Chain A
Amino acid sequence: MSERVDEVLRSKLQQQGVWVTSMQELYNWGRKNSIWPLQFGLACCAIEMIATAASRYDIARFGGEVFRPSPRQADLMIVAGTVTKKMAPQIVRLYNQMADPKYVIAMGACAISGGPFKQGYNVLKGIDRYIPVDVYIPGCPPRPVALLHAFMELQRKIDEQKLSGANKAAHLDSEQPSEFPVPAFGKHDLEPPANPNVFHPPAIERA
């Protein structure tokens, strides 16, 4: 069976009261409309995240209102704020404790690159050094609508995930890691400073 149902055929069938879908579509539809974020905030971005969850912006419209205080029950980690080097091992540990399938949104300049603290001694230059990030939101801090946009992008991403085949979703692939090594506190920096299996900075070629 083809992955997508022919749209014309589907609408014609729907007029007759028959709803045709695929297992993959149903599975992804269920998951993308019930993303439970992990309830934690690190800095000022967390205030925007709270605003997103409150009545004015209302993330519940997208099925993401159930902020869980336990990583065991969460699907989405919103890294909202500055990740200090002292906090980074705990973030990775929380990510490891989340059950598959799990997703990460890096919210704000600090979480994606260290932001204004990039040259400091105590701030991690982006959480993508240790865990894979699905959606990046720039901004300092990003407005709630930006977080909603990222949320919708994530939903789109989930909707496109395959259940089988070579490109199947990472959580269905037993070869793909679900946990990542927790960095240790070193004498001068975190050890290792980045996980080479996760962090692939684009090599900038300059003459």
Chain B
Amino acid sequence: MEELVQIKARIEAAVPGSKIEMVQNAGPSKQHSLRVDNEHAYDVAKWLRDDPELRMDFCSNVTGVDWLDRTVKKTVKVKKVVDEVEKEVPETTEEKIPGYLEAVYHLYSMTIKHGPVIIRMRTADRDKNVCVPSLTPVWRSAEFQEREIFDLYGIRFEGHPDLRRILMWDEFEDHAMRKDYREPDDYEYEPTPHDEVLEKAKAHYVSRPVLDGAEKISAEDGSVNG
């Protein structure tokens, strides 16, 4: 399969106006991906499927990613004149990146037997503007997985034929896979709690009664009276 850079260039030539961004994966897998702008995502997906050299006819996996608000600190050494002597002084700049949600598609070709090409789409933020175009019209296999992402991450897929929750019940309001989701507190009975569970279970602990010897202890169940 051709390099991702080449694919990017060919998409930009084939779909005029599309903005494709390379997203580097620093991990050992080096599975770099292409970020597609939401406006042209449908056309880009269609082109990836139909292009005779790529023929990405199989969408094997669709998943969501939740990116919280984050600040990236960058330390750059800047040459400065201090006391008339030129020195290299480290300067830290902070960049605030607002949070967003991402939908990631892993595409393979069954006909040519190559892949994957990974494309991703981003929402504007995590609260209200959580729309990305649905790629179900291009790959039918994305239907349930997009519903799953809608359920667990809260991304709305515009143009999805049947966008309902798929795993949780319809009345459920949260999105369970978001990083700021907190599950309901039902840790009344934890026989062997540890770590985070221990912290949650502590809220339900009954403090041990203080005995001074004057109480009557029931022989049956060990309960303390008086």
Inside 8 A of B176's CB, which chain A residues have their CB?
121-122
Q: Chain A residues near B188: list those with CB within 8 A.
A: 194, 201
Assuming the A-B contacts A122-B167, A205-B206, are A187 and B184 also in contact, with contact meaning beta carbons closer than 8 angstroms in the complex? no
Q: Does A202 contact B (CB under 8 A)?
A: yes
Question: Roughly how many angstroms separate A122 CA and B209 CA in the complex, as a whole number?
Answer: 36
**B189 with A188: CB separation less than 8 A:** no
A: interface residue count bin: 20 to 34
- Please tell me the number of chain B residues within 8 Å of chain A, measured between CB atoms: 24
Neighbour of A187 across the interface among B167, B172, B183, CB < 8 A = B172
Q: Are B197 and A119 touching (Cβ within 8 A)? A: yes
**Given the known A-B contacts A122-B176, A189-B186, are A204 and B168 also in contact in the complex, defined by CB atoms under 8 Å?**
no
B171-210 interface bits toward A, Cβ cutoff 8 Å, 1 = contact, 0 = none: 1111010000101101011110000110000000111110
Chain A residue nearest to B190 in the complex (CB): A204
A122 CA / B189 CA spacing, docked (Å): 18
With the chains together, A207 CA to B211 CA distance in Å? 13
Q: Which chain A residues in 150-207 approach chain B with CB under 8 Å?
A: 185-189, 193-194, 201-207
Question: Once the chains are docked, how many angstroms separate the CA of A19 from the CA of B190?
Answer: 51
Q: Is the Cβ of B205 less than 8 Å from the Cβ of A185? A: no
Q: A86 an interface residue at 8 Å Cβ cutoff?
A: yes
Q: Which of B169, B183, B190, B208 counts the most A-chain CB atoms under 10 A from its CB?
A: B169
Instruction: Please tell me which one of the listed residues A125, A187, A204 contacts residue B171 in the complex, with CB atoms under 8 A apart.
Output: A187
Specify the main secondary structure of chain A where it touches its partner. Answer: loop
* Contact between A193 and B206, CB atoms less than 8 A apart: no
Choose one: B171, B186, B189; the contact of A185 (CB below 8 Å). Answer: B171
A206 B208 Cβ-Cβ under 8 A: yes
Contact assessment for A185 and B197 in the assembled complex, using a CB-CB cutoff below 8 Å:
no
CA distance A202 to B205 in the complex (A): 11
Known: A194-B186, A202-B189, A207-B207. A188 touches B174 (CB 8 A): yes
List the A side residues contacting B196 at CB < 8 Å: 119
A185–B170 Cα gap in the complex (Å)? 8
Whether A207 pairs with B208 at a CB distance below 8 angstroms is yes
From A119, A185, A186, A194, contact of B183 by CB (8 A): A119
Residues of B whose CB lies within 8 Å of any CB of A are: 167-174, 176, 181, 183-184, 186, 188-191, 196-197, 205-209
Q: Which A residues contact B (CB, under 8 angstroms)?
A: 85-86, 119-122, 125, 185-189, 193-194, 201-207
Q: Knowing that A85-B169, A121-B181 are A-B contacts, what are 9 other residue pairs whose CB atoms are under 8 Å apart, sorted by A's residue number?
A: A119-B197, A120-B183, A121-B176, A121-B183, A121-B184, A125-B186, A189-B186, A194-B188, A206-B208
